[in-house]
Amino acid sequence: MTTASVEELRSRTRALLSEFDPADTEPLDFLRARFDAGLAWVHFPVGLGGLDAPRALQAVVDAELAAAGAPDNDPRRIGIGLGMAAPTILRYGTDEQRSRLLRPLWTGEEVWCQLFSEPGAGSDLAALATRATLGADGVWTVDGQKVWTSSAHTARWAILIARTDPALPKHKGITYFVCDMTDPGVEVRPLRQITGEAEFNEVFLTGVRIPDTDRLGAVGEGWQVAQTTLNNERVSIGGQRTPREGGLVGIVAGTWRARPELRTPELQQRLLKHWVDAEVLRLTGERLRQQLTVGQPGPEGAGTKLGFARLAQELTGFEVELLAEEGLGYDDWTMVRPELVDFNGREAGYRYLRAKGNSIEGGTSEILRNIIAERVLGLPPEPRTDKDVPWKDLAR
């Protein structure tokens, strides 16, 4: 990072603010102008919301805009698009796909979801059975079922992997697509969770037509393309930027300070351990983000996601125990369809129940441990007898 490059970013940001005063500009118009000025994600190419600048310089832009009261793109609402779809489109998409999809994705005009997991292919994602068949007209027809799909009920687009050659082993013969969620063959049904809410969905695909121009990467190389998505997903879940004592540990520490009558020496020792674990995870996430400034995310992101899931479940369990009978007070089982998961302002019982899903979503903790062992530590992989067997011959 050089002084000149920092000053250039500040100059560009101030020029944007001068031309599009946030106080007088509609938020969407401001976001579109920000994208066109290359200040959306500065490390992206020129013309695609960026300036081919170092990723670390994004903080310069964000600080200037925050100080001016500029609107953001509500990143939590469009997290799948920002954290998973966009990096994959950038790496594997055609020029036409990038130009068409990235701008409305970043501005939040179009919400994205992820059609990966299936009832019979969750942890073993490569065993997926959703089929895509190419017709003579250059259009793929997709049939199958996906599950645990966040935001499917609000999404305009989906990233989708489907089997295009069942005669090949399961990790091959998979192709990656962009799926139009408004296609009449797409049916979204809510999945009610232990909290009573339905933030996830199951999605049924019946004769869904996807033009070949909406394919990402080569036919049959969908598994390789999906690794970009999955690596970014783990980073986006486990590597979220939070201040010291932010998130769940801040909620629990706040209760501890406000309710001295609940304290015991044993609980104090446990809370101190959780606080230290949270700080270690926060610093590890910062280090991971520093590594991302010079390259693509790798399997190391599995570690932060694994640590996030474990800590969330330990903290919410501790909070319920700290509050005793008060911690069991969650009793609202109304089926609602939230766009976001928000732990703030909710009961401890809700947080405890919702955190159970943290070790499943974004890759189960068991699978993440395998990734860390094999791809990070270099340990021998477990024997896999089905690795070279044609998918059509696998027992299901």
Q: Which two tokens stand for residue 375?
A: 């791809």
Query: From CA 204, how far away is CA 189, in angstroms rounded?
Result: 8
Residues 6+ apart with CB under 8 A from 211: 138, 139, 140
Catalytic pick from 233, 300, 319, 347? Answer: 233
Q: Which two tokens stand for residue 315?
A: 């903290």
Query: From CA 98, how far away is CA 159, in angstroms rounded?
Result: 14
What does R_g of the chain's alpha carbons equal in angstroms? Answer: 22
The distance from CA 112 to its chain's CA centroid, rounded to whole angstroms, is 10
Local structure of 158: helix, strand or coil: strand
Told to judge if 279 belongs to the known catalytic residues of this protein, a careful annotator would answer no
Residues 6+ apart with CB under 8 A from 345: none
The distance from CA 309 to its chain's CA centroid, rounded to whole angstroms, is 14
Query: From CA 320, how far away is CA 316, in angstroms rounded?
Result: 6
Q: Which two tokens stand for residue 114?
A: 């992820």
Q: Is the Cα dihedral 376, 119, 226, 234 positive or negative?
A: negative
Q: How big is the chain, counted in residues?
A: 396
Helices (H), the chain: 3-19, 27-36, 58-67, 79-80, 86-92, 95-107, 222-238, 247-258, 265-292, 301-323, 348-355, 365-371
Phi/psi of residue 179, nearest 5 degrees: -110, 130
DSSP annotation string for 99-157: HHHHHHHHHTSS-EEEE--BTTBSSSGGG---EEEE-TTSEEEEEEEE-S-TTTTT-SE
Q: Which residues are catalytic?
A: 233
